[in-house]
Every structure is written in structure tokens, then in C-alpha cells.
A and B are shown apart, each in its own frame.
Chain A
Amino acid sequence: MGQYVLSEAHKQTPITISPFHVSNLPDGQPWTEFYRTSAGILLRFPKLADFEVSADGALISSRPAPGIPDATVEHLYLNQVLPLALSKAGKLVLHASAVELDSGAVAFLAEAGRGKSTLAAAFATNGWRFLTDDGLVLDPKDNGYLAMPSHPSIRLWRDSHERFLTADAPAAPPISYSSKARLLADSDLKYCNEPRSLRALYCLGCGTASSVSIERLSAAESLVQLAKHAFLLDIEDRKLINTHFDRLADLAERIPCFDLDYPREFSELPGVRRAVVGHAMEAELS
């Protein structure tokens, strides 16, 4: 992994060039602005921090805005910037949580708010171990992929926190732009700190299913889903995009991918766990 340098707080000054890409919040406000610089790519999180990623993705430097807590900067780094930088460095990184199952791993892919962290917590508080709650890094190996562990914490909204863990469960300091708690791994929230062979990918549906539903996707459908859920820092670098496309196609061909949908009720989660465990253990996935 590359080098990370945290600089002194610095007021965000206007940038004279236009961003080549802007990622917006659901309310339309800019969340991340992407600027090309002579050294690489500058990521601006308005009023929070700037991060500069070197052209090879190996060096990241951050400049927080004045008054922004270290925990917020660290959180932006881990959840937003590092996955993008890893993609620039040639790694395959997905918007996915992952849990260990029978010495392998399964991943849950979804955009924000679909329940991938809640599902990971539902496993990690009931005897299984989680590898990551987002930003899943996949390393190719001879005949498949390794799911890599990341930060030993899971971010949960208050209702999920109260459902799975006690109010005094260990947590990282709060961050300034989200009320989600970052709950730290411990004996009640079990974490797997070793790579695990990836057995299956599950794309979380929008919760319209009346019961737990698992459907196999074709390789082409899988590739489209994987592309939707992959981190990619430089969306203008055609060479990088082609390589990225090849990697995703290889993943789609090697690892089975499924649609997983279920009603978004806490009471459904034990059934979802049973269904996923049973499904992933089926012989054709091993």
C-alpha cells in the first residue's frame, strides 16, 4: 500500500480550473470534486478536506479544512480516498462489504443505503466474522480472487447499532458530516484480519422482494453490476478504464454473482443469513 501524508489544516481556496468530475449528494450538493493537477488528481470534499493522489495512486496527501476533526479526515481517507487511489494503482475495489463463510468469503455489493453494512453486522454479531464494511479490495490469485480485510470497523445508523450492539460498544470518535457510528471490532463484532478466497458476490436489491430472493446473474449481467459498484478514480483515463474493464470481466467470469433481495426489516435478517449461508455452501460455488 502507498504512503499517506496528513498536512496542517488549510483554508480551502477556490480552484481556478473546472473539475473533470463531480460526485453529488442525493440533495444535489457536491460531495467530491475531481481536479486534474500536475502531480495527479486533487479530490476536494467542500468544507471538509482536500486530498491529492499521485499519478500512480501510491502517494496520498491530505489538507483538512480548519476545525475538521482528525476522525473525519481519517474517515474520508479510509472510505473515500483510499479506495479510489487503490483503483488508480491498479487494484480492484468494490462498494461492498464482505464476511467470512467456512474459510471463504462472500461479498455484498450495493450503493450507499442499501444495507451492506447492516448485513455485515448481522453476520458479525452472530458467530461469523466480517472482513470489511465497504471498499472491498480483491486480489487475483491462481484460480479466483482473495477478499482482503480492511479497517476493523463497521459504520451503522443508530437503529442498526441499537439492534446489534450495546450502547457502550467500542466506537471511533464521531465524524462531522454523518450521524453514523463507526463501531470497532471486538468480541461482539467479530473481525477476520486475513484474506479469504471469494466464493460469491451478492448484489443487494432495493428491498421490494416479499421474501428472501436469490437469483443467478449471467456473466454479462454480472459485469454490468460489477462496473456499477467498482471504485474508479480517473474516469477519463481510457487505458486505465480498458484495464479496469478487463479485470471486471475476468471477475465476472470467475466468481458467481447473484441478485439478493429481501424486505428491509430487522426481523428478516436471520432468514437472510440462513439463505446466504446455505446458498454459498452449495457445491457449485466451492
Chain B
Amino acid sequence: MSIFEELNPIIERPGNESIGDVIRDAWSSVIAEMEYTSRAVENYRNDHDRTSQLGQDFGRRMNYLRDAGVVSVSGQNDNADIVMGMYEGDSLGGLHAGIDTKRNDAFLDELVSDSVVSSIDHKLAAQDAVAQAHRNMGSTNDPLERLAA
């Protein structure tokens, strides 16, 4: 017997209407919880898929730059224009990078504005790295503020 059937004789008494509302509210919150969880897990799955793809794209781009002698991953080539140490962090494939560079600001801005580093994790990593590179070069033109805007 459902709770509505069980309580119906009581709910129907004058003055007890709010009891039915309490039960309906409780049921609505159960449904809302199921819908919220499904949306959250779907968001989680989509973010994971997108970030994994971005991480792969970012890795390919870094490999290309490394093969071209522009980027040295983990300091393998001290003469490269950019020395980057990076590793894959959490399950989202967040890349944590540190860059030292001899390149100019325009090249660095191009690096972080590229779509392959447009995810939040990658963007933050790139922002940190580029900001560090700017500091290393003594630049006052910190891209962090522009990108955060």
C-alpha cells in the first residue's frame, strides 16, 4: 500500500490538506535528485571526453613543436626556444607545465590562445607557464590578466 493510500482517510479530513503537500514535496525532491544526478554525471562524462581529446591534441602539438626544435620537453634540449616540463595530472588529463623561453610575447600568446589549450585545466596550466615565462623575460605584459578577463 502506498503512503497516499495509507494516509488518504487522514488527508481528506478538513485541516489536514498540508499532509498531502508534504508527501508530494518529498516525492518531487526524490525525482529532482535523480534528474540532477543524471545531468551531473552526463556533464562529468562530456567534460572527461572533451578534456581527454584536448589533452591528446595538446600533446600532439607539443610533440610537433618538440620535433621542430622549438620546444624541449622536460629540458631535453637546453638550446630550444621553449623548455617545458609537463606531466599528466589527474583523471581529467590536466597538464601541468612550466615554460622557460627565449621567444617573444606574441608567440606565447598564440600558444595559450590556441584552441587546443582552451579547456580550463590546460588553459590554467598554460597561463601559469606563460606567466612564468614572462616573468623570466622580465615582461610586465602578464597574459594572465588578459586571459582571465
Say whether A associates with B.
Answer: no
Q: B: which residues have CB within 8 A of A?
A: none
Q: A: which residues have CB within 8 A of B?
A: none
